[in-house]
Amino acid sequence: MSKYKLPRGIVISGTGLWTPPESISNQELVAAYNAHAALYNRKYSAEIEAGEMAPKLESSAEFIEKASGIKSRYVVAREGILDPERMRPYLPERADNELCLQAEMGLAAAKLALEKAGKTPEDIDMVIVGASYLQRAYPAIAIEIQAALGVEGFAFDMEVACSSATFSLQRAVDAVASGSARAVLVVNPELASPQIDFTDRDSHFIFGDVAVASVVERRESCTADTAWEVLGTKAQTVFSNNIRSNFGYTARAADVDPFGPGKLFRQNGRRVFKEVCPMAAAHIEAHVRETGSEPAEVRRYWLHQANINMNNLIAKKLMGDGANAERAPIVLDRYANTGCAGSVIAFNLHSDDLQPGDRGVICSFGAGYSIGSLVLEKISL
């Protein structure tokens, strides 16, 4: 069966990164969690002593860093997260005629991407919002951002968990290649903190909030001095229950607590590590070869930022002894896992130093399982 070959001349001409002004260190997060655990254990001391309930174990900053490589994370609201009696952010509800929080985050990143690409809203025909979590079902967050910018054309949301950014970038590339859009604005506003169970020792430290955006267009219309030509895109999904979030509106019809056990983010970390690492490495290796290079020759890998041990293992499989933090940069130490945005954060922060002709790969992997990748080459215009 013949494979679709992407036409040359489609580029990522600019990216934008919006970082929340507040951050929480491991030490601060652990202090709040341990205080909560102490309150919980006192409240249910009789049940725990009778063996009817398990006590909450304490966490530590050292445990978090060793398990994940995460040292801190950015969030849109610190205060409620660090309250042992609340353990969730406080985000006041906004009126329907106000810009929603996720659109506000995405709009900030979108403006930075447009500025870097030298584009105005009039140049954009299509807006895609891809995120692991969406603040509401409809109207689409993408249409709200489209309206706020004054973009004519069309917009839509899509959700493929931690691969939402690479999958939405692929949709943007396809749209430009087909001629259905001159230029596409891809926005990835990851508002993850409301979905975290901050009372769960195994996952309370994983996620952070952030927003990134990218402009995809044809080389002929690009006005930036340099850009990244897309040599190929590749997507893969394989069903797995090892990463799951069951929060949804049907809980109302099932007469269960929509925020109860199992409704927020959860994962079987050991199984994910064992299964996703070889899948991601094989996916990237095949994709790089399909675009005419060898994995060890690729100048930089901007990998999904979930766990430093996963990234180091995948980088080693692809580059052998040449693997290092310069060729596969890590940003999760200060951003944590930002859902689909991590690989684009790494690209935004660690691509300007490369030279025309250098190749790199943006790759994400996450729930689904889902894996998405773009092979890029820097060009001078």
The residues annotated with a catalytic role in the active site are 162
Measured at the CA of 231, the angle between CA 230 and CA 232, to 5 degrees, comes to 95
Point out which residues pair with 185 in neighbouring strands. Answer: 127, 215
Dist. CA 355–CA 345, nearest whole Å: 19
Q: Put residue 225 in one of left, alpha, beta given phi > 0 → left and psi -120 to 50 → alpha.
A: alpha
C-alpha separations of 102 from 132, 134, 186 in Å: 12, 8, 14
Of 98, 132, 187, which is closest to residue 305 (Cα–Cα)? 132
C-alpha separations of 4 from 7, 177, 228, 229 in Å: 9, 12, 20, 17
Q: Is 225 exposed, middle or buried (0-12, 13-18, 19+ CB in 10 A)?
A: exposed
Q: The tokens of 174 are what? A: 């396809």
Of 135, 50, 133, 126, which is closest to residue 99 (Cα–Cα)? 135
Rounded to 5 degrees, φ, ψ at 54 are: -90, 140
Q: Tell me the angle at which helices 308-319 and 269-290 cross, rounded to the nearest 10 degrees.
A: 30
Dist. CA 244–CA 286, nearest whole Å: 27
Of 176, 184, 180, which is closest to residue 9 (Cα–Cα)? 176
Indicate the residue type of 279.
M
Query: Could you tell me if 226 and 353 are in contact, meaning their C-beta atoms sit under 8 angstroms apart?
Result: no
3-state secondary structure of 6: coil
